[in-house]
Structure 1
Amino acid sequence: MRFEKAARSTGQKLTVQQYAPLPLVPKDPFGLVQGLMLVPLLIGGYMSSTLLLAATGKAAGRWRAAQLAGFAVVSGLVVDLIVCYWLQGFPSSKFWITWPICSLIVAVVAFVAAILQKLLGPIGTLVTVVVMILLGNPSSGGASGVPYLPAFWRDLGPYLPPRNGYILLHHTIYFDGHGTSRALINLLIYLLAAAVVLIVLDLRRTEAKVPTDASEAAAMAVPIGAVP
């Protein structure tokens, strides 16, 4: 009614155009796939940093950021292929736009995990799991919808990557990207800030290589010829 009054007062003709969102696919009649996609993306993010730490024995390196970014691109593609074409969880017309979003989510989590592992050591992985999985995933709203979350989770979600990643995925696939500006900006801020911090830490803070095998650790701690 307000629009009609405004149109009359200005002497303009009111034109109403209905917007029809992209129909849900038969295998996802409730639109829950985007929330479920978050789990492998979040796990893939912190696992990439953890596996790289185990492989190199160091929590940082000159090319750590580039290696994590490369893994994010590949893992985002894998998740996108599986969900789109194998599970048919969303329309194939959205495959290409979904790929960079998946990779962005993985990269953000991987960079944050690498920073925490650099600063806190092995406990940094635990902190990443608590923040991204135990706190971030429930507050994303992917399973029940953001409006139906309890107040604590609803208020916490906007400050963590999972909620922003879910909104970016869901609104891009089904609403042509409407209402995704804030989520995209938040994720890009996370990504750029974490990348800068990670690169600075890699360049300025040196660390001794951490032995990844228990026998190597024992050999370093026990004098030659002694029995561990």
Structure 2
Amino acid sequence: MHQPAGTPGPVIGQSRKLAIVVAGLAAVVVTMLCAFALPSINSGPNDLPVGVTGPQQSTTTVTKTLQGDKWDVTTYDSEARLQAAIQDREVLGGIVLAPGRVTAYTATAGGPQAAATLTSTATVIAKQQRAEVTVTDLKPFTEDDPKGAGFSSATLPMIFGGMFPAVILSRLFAGHSGLRLRLIGGVAFALVAGFAATAFLQYGTGSFDGNYLMTSLGVSLGMASLVTTLLGLETLMGMAGFGLGAVVIMLLGNPLSGFASGPHWLPDGWAAFGQLLPPGAAGSLLRSNAFFDGTGAGTPALTLSAWVVLGLALMLVADRRGAQAARAVAPQSALAG
């Protein structure tokens, strides 16, 4: 039985659809707000690895003072050993205690907030001991970019450098026939963009001072991990897969990356999870290559490589499905002919 024209049925159906869309979009906005705001609100020093050296009585007193959730204190037997530990990224900084003197060794490039917190803590300790305080930055940002603005600004370009190519390549080379072209294009883009972005930040703005080739390859690996994963999701699941990957990257990967502050400035657990996602691993790899001569680059490089392998695996599965579908269609086309 047909519904008479002018009845409210279709209008009610459209209204429900509109209400669902509005509620869904509002939920996305609230989720974005939570993802970006909560890590910032709850951020702060969290098990910051620092070293202490000096007379046993003094180091014992300071170690007890620093006990808690903010610090993870390691005692070293000499000032030289403490400096080496900072250079090797075993700790983010350290405090040297001596009669009438307190020296704070920091590594601003490893985390500016951590360096500032360690400096203020050393100042308080010096006042308590009525000693002079000296601050030495063993790993600062470059002279041309002492605040590390160039490094911090690399976050979104790296993320969008993985998202945009995946969208464009999927549209230009759609379907099973374009799968290999999408893969080749994504990898080629990551290499070209990685070297170009590093050249700009190292030679254009002077924000980096590490080995150009190593840093460029690291940036390219970060972009490749994003573009291959998103291409794999899109190839296997369509735009729904791409949307899922983009949401994870933007709503979780970006705020939990610790790109500018370093992962130790995020709440416990969130930092570790953020380092398993491409933005966090890419940031740690860039920090290692650009300022620490590759020290500490192994884990983030392996993490990003795992994401690349995942993307390739997804594309391989999609390729086999496409080949099977093509073989199934071929006999039917022959019969129809």
Q: Equivalent residue of 1:30, what SS?
A: coil
How do 1:36-185 residues align onto structure 2 when only pairs under 5 Å count?
A: 36-58=153-175, 61-91=179-209, 93-151=210-268, 153-185=270-302
Seen in structure 2, the aligned counterparts of structure 1 residues 84 and 202 have a Cα distance that, compared at 3 Å, is same
Which structure 2 residue ranges, 5 or more long, are not aligned? 1-51, 57-77, 88-137, 327-337
What's the CA shift string for 1:94-147, capped at 9, x where partnerless?
322111111111111001111221233222332222111221111110133322
| Cα separation, 1, equivalents of 2:201 and 2:79 | 39
Aligned residue among 80, 85, 90 for 1:16: 80
| Cα separation, 2, equivalents of 1:166 and 1:50 | 23
| Cα separation, 2, equivalents of 1:163 and 1:96 | 21
What's the CA shift string for 1:76-99, capped at 9, x where partnerless?
1121122122222112x5322111
What's the CA shift string for 1:3-51, capped at 9, x where partnerless?
x99xxxxxxxx89354465542134323353342131111111211110
Seen in structure 2, the aligned counterparts of structure 1 residues 140 and 15 have a Cα distance that, compared at 3 Å, is closer
| Cα separation, 2, equivalents of 1:107 and 1:126 | 18
Seen in structure 2, the aligned counterparts of structure 1 residues 126 and 152 have a Cα distance that, compared at 3 Å, is farther
Q: Equivalent residue of 2:282, what SS?
A: helix
Which structure 1 residue ranges, 5 or more long, are not aligned? 6-13, 209-228
| More strand as a share of residues | 2
Aligned residue identity for 1:49: A
Q: Contact 1:138/1:153 (CA < 8 Å) preserved in 2?
A: no
| Cα separation, 1, equivalents of 2:250 and 2:238 | 19
Structure exhibiting the larger radius of gyration computed from Cα positions: 2
Deviates further, 17-26 or 44-53: 17-26
- Give 1:166 deviation, angstroms: 0.7
- Give 1:66 deviation, angstroms: 2.0
Identical counterparts, % of pairs: 28
Seen in structure 2, the aligned counterparts of structure 1 residues 55 and 180 have a Cα distance that, compared at 3 Å, is same
Do residues 202 (structure 1) and 314 (structure 2) align? no
Q: How many residues get paired?
A: 200
Aligned residue identity for 1:67: G
| TM-score normalised by the chain length of structure 1 | 0.75
Q: Equivalent residue of 1:63, what SS?
A: helix
Q: Equivalent residue of 1:200, what SS?
A: helix
Q: Which protein has greater RCO, CA pairs closer than 8 Å, 6+ apart?
A: 1
Q: Contact 1:35/1:166 (CA < 8 Å) preserved in 2?
A: no
Aligned position for 1:219? none
Aligned position for 2:146? 29
What's the CA shift string for 1:184-213, capped at 9, x where partnerless?
1111111123223313322432589xxxxx
Aligned residue identity for 1:94: N
Note the aligned Cα RMSD (angstroms): 2.9
Q: Equivalent residue of 2:153, what SS?
A: helix
| Cα separation, 2, equivalents of 1:133 and 1:33 | 20
Seen in structure 2, the aligned counterparts of structure 1 residues 193 and 128 have a Cα distance that, compared at 3 Å, is closer
